[in-house]
Chain A
Amino acid sequence: DIQMTQSPSSLSPSVGDRVTITCRASQTISNYLNWYQQKPGKAPKLLIYAASSLQSGVPSRFSGSGSGTDFTLTISSLQPEDFATYFCQQSYSAPTFGGGTKVEIK
Chain B
Amino acid sequence: QVQLQESGPGLVKPSQTLSLTCTVSGGSIRSGGYYWNWIRQHPGKGLEWIGYIYYSGSTYYSPSLKSRVIMSVDTSKNQFSLKLTSVTAADTAVYYCARGVNCSGGRCYDGMDVWGQGTTVTVSS
Whether chain B is bound by chain A comes out as yes
In B9-67, the 8 Å CB interface with A consists of: 37, 46-49, 60, 62-64
Count of CB-CB pairs between chains A and B under 8 Å:
64
Of the residues B46, B111, B117, contact of A34 by C-beta under 8 Å: B111
User: B117 — which chain A residues lie within 8 A by C-beta?
Assistant: 42-43
User: B115 — which chain A residues lie within 8 A by C-beta?
Assistant: 43-45
CA–CA, A50 to B48, complex, Å? 20
User: B111 — which chain A residues lie within 8 A by C-beta?
Assistant: 34, 36, 46, 49-50, 55, 89, 91
A100 engages B107 (CB within 8 Å): no
Could you tell me the dominant secondary structure of chain A's interface residues? loop
Interface residue? B101 (CB, 8 A): yes
User: B108 — which chain A residues lie within 8 A by C-beta?
Assistant: 91, 95
CA–CA, A99 to B118, complex, Å? 19
A87 engages B47 (CB within 8 Å): yes
In A80-106, the 8 Å CB interface with B consists of: 87, 89, 91-100
Most buried by A among B48, B60, B101, B111: B111
CA–CA, A81 to B111, complex, Å? 22
CA–CA, A85 to B49, complex, Å? 17
Chain B's closest residue to A98 (CB) is B46
Given contacts A43-B115, A43-B118, contact A32 B60 (CB under 8 A): no
Of the residues A43, A55, A100, contact of B46 by C-beta under 8 Å: A100
- 7 new A-B contacts at CB < 8 Å, known A49-B110, A89-B111: A34-B111, A43-B115, A45-B115, A87-B47, A91-B107, A95-B49, A100-B47
B residues apposed to A, CB below 8 Å: 37, 46-49, 60, 62-64, 96, 98, 100-101, 107-113, 115-118
